[in-house]
Homo-oligomer: A and B are copies of this chain.
């Protein structure tokens, strides 16, 4: 488990700290930790049914990138979504139906092999009951994909043909965000599509979480008229990463997750969070798909976009640490991660319970830190074999 104390910026106890303004944007930068994240874990009603815990619709996967869709769905299930549906071009449905177990699949109409027909595909998606969407992992680049994405993001704003002209600053500020439209995670091919769309952020009618890695982020910035070089080194300079993510979130009016070592989460309202994880085992194909499924599941469970993104990044990072503790710095396969997700969630849920118990007894949350770290140490065990003893001790 990475030593998160040695990080050197942010408050190790997780209390939000106000950074000096960066690039003209006032932000409160928070280093994510167990205590900050514990209170975000959605409580799970004993009488809940599968509908209570969120329905996620996933638009992902292609013949070239079939595993991506599988990873999103499995991660979403392990992150607690009640129901997960995978929408794929009709001709690929048999392939994906053979690959998933708990997720259901849905055929999107095509006008050519593996090429969705955007309008009827949109209709089918909107007709399917869902609380959140994940769009992009492993999608095949094509005009049809781009059209479907545009329709999905601008609906219910009745978009005209093409991405619209950039509206005036005034119009943009007054643009109503549709409160009915379900929130959406945008990843991979969806991000590449946005990067080449003019001023996409001025017409998006949904709350989005964008999850670019440094390369995708640079393309998006370039598409917004910024020279990526001005953003600095987005792979290794943590301050540059924070500044750039904050600026992008402010401009795009969406939550931005800039992935990599020490992933940054930025909200358009100026909130800024940094995850403590630096795990080279995670630098492996498909780990991003697991992240988008995790965030999507949390959105479907009702979390706010910034909270879903923060907790999703944190649970994903904990899962990576669990696997690294087991196999080392190299050789992690993305498919290892979903099964490790519940370990972190349970740990945080227990911590939240103790914090509540502690507060009832008049103790502050910080009294619990030692206990939490002890438990963190024990998560190195094989998730399959771990049997943690109950927490009878509570806050005492």
Q: Chain B residues with Cβ under 8 A from A53's Cβ?
A: 280, 283-284, 330
Given A102-B335, A385-B385, A387-B382: A285 in contact with B71 (beta carbons within 8 A): no
Binds B, one of A157-165, A173-181, A338-346, A358-366: A338-346
CA distance A71 to B101 in the complex (A): 8
B94, B287, B333, B387: which contacts A325 (Cβ < 8 A)?
A: B387
* Shortest Cβ distance from A380 into B: residue: B387
Q: Are A283 and B102 also in contact (CB < 8 A) when A53-B330, A384-B382 are?
A: no
A386 within 8 A of B: yes
- A63–B345 Cα distance when bound, in Å, is 32
The reply to whether A64 and B105 form a contact with Cβ atoms under 8 Å apart is yes
B283, A101: Cβ atoms under 8 Å? Answer: no
**Cα A350 to Cα B289 with chains together (Å):** 30
A277-295 near B? 1/0 per residue, CB < 8 Å: 0111101111100000000
CB distance from A278 to the nearest CB of B (A): 4
Interface residue from B49, B74, B94 paired with A213 (Cβ < 8 Å): B49
A283: which of B50, B346, B382 is its contact (CB, 8 Å)?
Answer: B50
A97 interfacial contact with B, CB 8 Å: yes
Q: Which residues of B contact A279 (CB under 8 A)?
A: 46
Most chain B beta carbons < 10 A, residue from A101, A105, A281 = A101
B78 touches A333 (CB 8 A): yes
Sort chain A's interface into a size bin.
35 or more
Contacting residues of chain A (333-388) with chain B, CB-CB under 8 angstroms: 333-335, 341-343, 345-346, 349, 380-387
User: Does A26 touch B at the CB level, under 8 Å?
Assistant: no
Residues of B contacting A196 with CB < 8 Å?
A: none
Contact A83 B285 (CB under 8 A): yes
Smallest Cβ distance from A311 to chain B, in angstroms?
12
A37 to B: closest C-beta gap in Å: 14
The residue that A331 contacts in the complex, of B63, B71, B345, B382, with Cβ under 8 A, is B345
User: In whole Å, how far is A195's beta carbon from the nearest beta carbon of chain B?
Assistant: 18
Given contacts A105-B63, A342-B327, contact A49 B214 (CB under 8 A): yes
Whether the Cβ atoms of A65 and B101 lie closer than 8 Å is no
Which of chain B's residues has its CB closest to A280's CB?
Answer: B44
Q: Among the interface residues A84, A104, A260, A386, which one has the most CB atoms of the partner chain B within 10 A?
A: A104
Residues of chain B within 8 A (CB-CB) of A331 are 77-80, 341-342, 345
Q: Which of B102, B286, B328, B383 contacts A285 (CB 8 A)?
A: B102
Q: Which residues in B have their C-beta under 8 angstroms from that of A328?
A: 342-343, 345-346, 349
Residues of B within 8 A of A81 (CB): 284
| Residue from A52, A71, A78 having most chain B Cβ neighbours under 10 A | A78
- Known A53-B283, A67-B101, A94-B95; further 5 A-B contacts with Cβ < 8 A: A79-B330, A83-B284, A102-B285, A328-B349, A332-B342
Q: Can you identify 19 A-B contacts, CB atoms within 8 angstroms?
A: A44-B281, A53-B284, A53-B330, A63-B93, A63-B105, A64-B97, A64-B105, A64-B107, A66-B105, A67-B101, A67-B104, A71-B101, A82-B283, A327-B346, A328-B342, A328-B346, A331-B341, A382-B386, A382-B387
